[in-house]
Amino acid sequence: MSQADLVRYELDGGIAILTLNRPEKRNALSAPLVEALHDAITRAQAEARAAVICGEGEHFSAGLDLAEHAKRSPIEGVHHSRRWHEIFDRMEGGPIPFFAALQGAVVGGGLELAASVQVRVADETAFFALPEGTRGIFVGGGGSVRVARLMGVARMTDMMLTGRSISAERAEAWNLCQYVVPKGQARAHAVELARKAAGNAAMSNYAIINALPRIQDMARGDGLFVESFVSAMTAAAPEAEERLRAFVEKRAAKVARPDA
C-alpha cells in the first residue's frame, strides 16, 4: 500500500472526508500514515469549507504504532512527537473546521488526534483510553495539553494511571466528545454537522477556530479586549453585512427550537 492510500481523500460538495485506512492494524498511527494525514489536511484546507476525519473498519484508531515506536531512540522520539504536534496544530488552527467521527477504539494517539479537531461525534461502540502507562510511555501527540483541557487533569491522570477505558456516554459527560449517536451513524452525523458549519461565513468560522482557543489562553481583560476587535473585524466582512441584511429583510432562517 502506498503512503497516499493510508488516508483516503474524498471531496463531497465542499466537505473533505479523510478516512484513516489501515484497518488491519486498527488504524494505528504509523509515521507514513501521519504524513499521509498531513497531505490530506493540506489539500482539504486548500479546497474544502469543512472536513471530517474518520477511520475505516470497527475502530477509529489504536493510537501510536507501537511496533514502529519500539525502534526509536530518545531523540528520534522527540522529533516524532514534535512532528505530530506540528501537523495536529496546523489542523487545529487552520482556516476550516474539522469534525471527527469516532467508533470503537479511540485510544492513546487516536484520542490525541481526535482532541485536535473542533467537534467530535462518537457512535455508541466508541471507547476511550490512554494506555500509555501500561505501555511504558507518555502521551506525545499533544494530549497533555488538549485532552487535559477537554476533560480536566484529574480525570486524565486517572485514565493514564489505571489504563481504564470509558464508554462513549461517559466520554460525552466528560467533554471528550460533543455527540453520541447510534452504532454506524457517526460519519453521516459528522458530515451533516460539517455541512452546517460550511454554510457559515468563512470569517466567522476562522474566528471561532482561531480566536476562541487563543482567548482561553489569555488573561480575562486581554481576552475581552481581543474579543472586541475580532468581533468588529468579523462583522466588517461583506458576507456579514449581507447576512445581517438578509435577516432584517426576513430572507434568512430563524433560530430553530432544540430537537425534542
Backbone angles phi, psi at 194, to 5 degrees: -60, -40
- Beta carbon nearer to ligand 1HE, 32 or 131: 131
- Interface mask (CB under 6 A) for ligand 1HE, residues 138-177, using x and -? -xxx------------------------------------
Instruction: Please list the helix, strand and coil fractions of the chain in percent, rounded to the nearest 5, in that order.
Output: 50, 15, 30
What is the secondary structure of 32-74 as a DSSP string? HHHHHHHHHHHHHHHH-SEEEEEESSS-SB--B-HHHHTT--H
- Does 207 sit near ligand 1HE (CB under 6 A)? no
- When CB distances to ligand 1HE are compared, the closest residue is 108
Q: Indicate which residue of 35, 68, 92, 112 is catalytic.
A: 112
List Cα–Cα distances, 153 to 100, 145, 175, in angstroms: 23, 9, 13
Q: According to the binding rule CB under 6 A, does residue 105 interact with ligand 1HE?
A: yes
Confirm or reject binding of residue 107 to ligand 1HE (CB under 6 A).
Answer: yes
- Residue 46's alpha-carbon distances to 14, 15, 16, 40, 236, in angstroms, are 11, 12, 10, 10, 24
**Cβ distance to ligand 1HE smaller for residue 43 or 85:** 85
Active site residue 47: no
Among 26, 146, 155, 187, binds ligand 1HE (CB under 6 A): 26
Kindly write out the interface string for residues 116-145 of this chain, putting x where it contacts ligand 1HE by CB under 6 A and - elsewhere.
---------------xx--x-x-xxx----
* Residue 72 in contact with ligand 1HE, rule: CB under 6 A: no
Q: Angle CA(2)–CA(82)–CA(103) in degrees, nearest 5?
A: 60
Whether the CB-CB separation of 175 and 147 falls below 8 Å is answered with no
Question: Candidates 34-42, 55-63, 191-199, 209-217 — which segment interacts with ligand 1HE by CB under 6 A?
Answer: 55-63
- Cβ of residue 91: shortest distance to ligand 1HE, in angstroms? 15
Identify which of 136, 38, 15, 51 has the alpha carbon closest to the alpha carbon of residue 87.
38
String of b and e for 86-109 (b: at least 16 CB within 10 Å)?
ebbeebbebebbbbbbbbbbbbbb
Q: Which one of residues 64, 102, 114, 180 is an interface residue with ligand 1HE (CB under 6 A)?
A: 64
> Is 112 among the catalytic positions?
yes
* DSSP 8-state symbol, 29: B
Nearer of residues 87 and 96 to ligand 1HE, judged by Cβ: 87
As measured in angstroms, the least distance from the Cβ of 215 to ligand 1HE is 27
Residue (6 or 16) nearer to ligand 1HE, CB: 6
Which of 24, 132, 172, 227 is an active site residue?
132
Catalytic residues: 112, 132
